Amino acid sequence: MLTLFELQKKFTENLKNQDMEIYSFIQHNKHMSPKKQLAIYQDSILSAMQQALTRIYPVCKKLVGEAFFNYIINHYIIIHPSFSPDLNNYGAGFSEYLKDIETMATLCYLADVANFEWSWHSLYQQITDKKFDFDKLRFYENQAKNIIFKLPRSAILLQSIYPIYHIFLINQKENEDDQSIFLQPNQQYFYIIWRNDLGRQISSLNKVEWIILTWMQDKLSLGEMSEKLMDLNHEINLNIIIPQMICCGFIVDIAINN
Partner 1 sequence: MDIKGVGLGLRSAHYSDILKENPAIPWFEVLADNYLIKGSPNLSYLEKIRQNYPLTLHCIGMSLGSMDPLNFNYLKKIKKLIKIVEPVLISDHLSWTSFNKQYFHELLPLPFTEEAIFHVAKRIRQVQDFLEQKIMIENISSYLCFKQSQLTEWAFLKEIADQADCFILLDINNIYVNAYNHQLNALNYIKSLDTNRIAQFHLAGFENKGYYLLDTHGASFSSDVLKLFQQAIKKFGALPTVIEWDSHIPIFSRLLEEVQIAQTIMDQYANII
Nearest to 54 by CA among 76, 21, 85, 82: 76
Report 182-241 residues binding partner 1 (CB under 8 A): 195, 199
Identify the residue among 17, 67, 84, 106 touching partner 1 (CB under 8 A). 84
Report 27-66 residues binding partner 1 (CB under 8 A): 27, 29-32, 34, 36-38, 40-41, 44-45, 48-49
Identify the residue among 19, 87, 92, 223 touching partner 1 (CB under 8 A). 87
Nearer to partner 1 by Cβ, of 5 and 182: the residue is 5
Per-residue interface string for the shown chain with partner 1, residues 133-172, x marking contact by CB under 8 A: ----------------------------------------
Range in contact with partner 1 (rule: CB under 8 A) among 11-19, 95-103, 210-218, 231-239: 11-19
Residue type, 140: Y
Output DSSP code: residue 163: -
How near is the Cβ of 58 to partner 1 at its closest, in Å?
A: 17
By CB under 8 A, residue 1 contacts partner 1: yes
Residue 91: other Cβ atoms inside 10 A: 26
Range in contact with partner 1 (rule: CB under 8 A) among 122-130, 175-183, 185-193, 225-233: 122-130
Note whether 131 and 252 are within 8 A (CB). yes
Residues contacting partner 1: total by CB under 8 A:
44
Nearer to partner 1 by Cβ, of 130 and 207: the residue is 130
Exposure string of 171-203, with b = 16+ CB inside 10 Å and e = fewer, is beeeeeeeeeeeeeeeeebbbbbbbeeeeebbe
Residue 66: other Cβ atoms inside 10 A: 10
How near is the Cβ of 24 to partner 1 at its closest, in Å?
A: 8
CA 209 to chain centre: 21
Strand partners, 204: 191
Identify the residue among 85, 100, 185, 235 touching partner 1 (CB under 8 A). 85
Measure the CA dihedral 205/189/119/147, to 10°.
Answer: -30
Strand partners, 197: none
Note whether 163 and 256 are within 8 A (CB). no
Range in contact with partner 1 (rule: CB under 8 A) among 25-33, 60-68, 99-107, 111-119: 25-33
Q: For residues 257 and 221, what is the distance between their CA atoms, to the nearest angstrom?
A: 7
Sites of contact with partner 1 (CB under 8 A): 1-5, 7-9, 11-12, 15, 24-27, 29-32, 34, 36-38, 40-41, 44-45, 48-49, 81-87, 124-129, 195, 199
